[in-house]
Amino acid sequence: MTIRRTFIATAAVIGFVAATAPSWAQDIQERTIRWGHLNNTDHPVSKGVQKFTEIVAAKSGGKLKIKEFPANQLGTEQQQQSALRGGTQEMQSPATTSLVGIVKDFGLVDFPFIVSTPQQADALLDGPLGTALLAKLPEKDLVGLGYWDLGFRNVTNSKRPITKGEDLSGIKIRVIPNPVYLETFKTFGANPVPLSFSELYTALETRAVDGQENPFSVILSNKFNEVQKYLSVTNHTYSTNIILVSKKFWDKLSPTEQKILQEAAIEARDYQRKLSREQAQQAVADLRAKGMQVNEIPQAELARMREQTKPIAERFSAEYDPALVKLFNSELDRVHALNN
């Protein structure tokens, strides 16, 4: 009888524990999620992935594990996007510029000089325009969880300081393989060369190209100061990283697991943006200390460069979804008013 009573009591305890366990715990499976990107582990994007990893582990009771693959270990941004679409890789955080071959409308955020502060950029991306662009992804077998900070892009080169648009004339400059970037630099008489990021350092070192353009943290993290002398604060384009998930993988997740990843992306975003902007300012000081000649562009000259590039937006806008272009223009009016 004692054994029987013990068995009944034990069964009752097990039943009680099962009944009182959080319902969400039953909706989470043990999963390893491979996350690839092109940045080094000292870059704010990698720091954001690390924060995301911590948040997901806490929210999932350690069941959802992120395995980070930095520095193009899983291939170029385009190669990783193909892997996500095919379901052979789970997550990625590329620059939106690399997505235009899949969803052309992402090219809207590449237009030069459309925002002038991080606050304007956040308002544009976190608002209706950013949401509408994310809605374009599922039909391409991708899911977007939001936008992180990459930063304003600035020009470096080995020839001369860039103090006005005309100074770019004749400079052979590496750009992202993206038509808006190509046309932007052609406007100033430069010779833009589309080139994969993984090939960039060698191209600069061998003088196959004279210069490149990237945010401060990318310039520092990749030691471009070793092969570039001049850094000009052009702030010509704001770049953002998008958090992508393979739709084939996403569709296998329970609603609880999807909610964890979505919440973690937003929580990590706020941390990553703050860190990224702090590091950007420090990066300028570090690059100067390492011997780069850094120069600001006068505001009047930046305004003139902005006017010179307006026809690019007008020309390319005709190639995008008219409803999105209308939303884009109204959103620009809204975010520009934030600083007035």
37-49 tens-digit pLDDT: 999 999 999 999 9
Looking at residue 11, what is its pLDDT? 46
pLDDT digits (tens, 9 = 90+) for 117-128: 999 999 999 999
Contact 36, 75 (CB under 8 A): yes
Rounded Cα distance, 116 and 95, in Å: 19
Contact 146/269 with Cβ under 8 angstroms? yes
Quick check: helix, strand or coil at residue 291?
coil
3-state secondary structure of 12: helix
As a whole number of angstroms, the distance between CA 252 and CA 248 comes to 7
Percentage of the chain with pLDDT > 70? 92
59, amino acid identity = K
- Hey, what long-range contacts does 126-129 have (CB within 8 A, 24 or more apart)? 127/331, 127/334, 127/335, 128/327, 128/331, 129/324, 129/327, 129/328, 129/331
Instruction: Write down the pLDDT at residue 24.
Output: 55
Of residues 4 and 205, more confidence is placed in 205
Average pLDDT, the chain: 93
Residue 198 and residue 38 in contact, taking contact as beta carbons nearer than 8 Å: yes
Beta carbons within 8 Å of 145's beta carbon, 6+ residues apart: 243, 244, 245, 261, 262, 265, 266
Angle, helices 255-289/44-60, rounded to nearest 10 degrees: 150
Superfamily of domain 27-339: Bacterial extracellular solute-binding protein, family 7 (3.40.190.170)
pLDDT in tens, 177-197: 888 999 999 999 999 999 989
Is 297's pLDDT higher than 50?
yes
Residue 4's pLDDT band (cuts 50, 70, 90): low
Q: Is the pLDDT of residue 15 over 70?
A: no
Strands of 141-186 (E only): list them: 142-152, 154-157, 172-175
Which pLDDT belongs to residue 140? Answer: 98
Q: Is 97 helix (H, G, I), strand (E, B) or coil?
A: helix
d(C-alpha 189, C-alpha 273), whole Å: 33
pLDDT, one tens digit per residue, over 60-93 is 999 999 999 999 999 999 999 999 999 999 999 9
Q: Is the dihedral of CA 142, 148, 152, 158 positive or negative?
A: negative
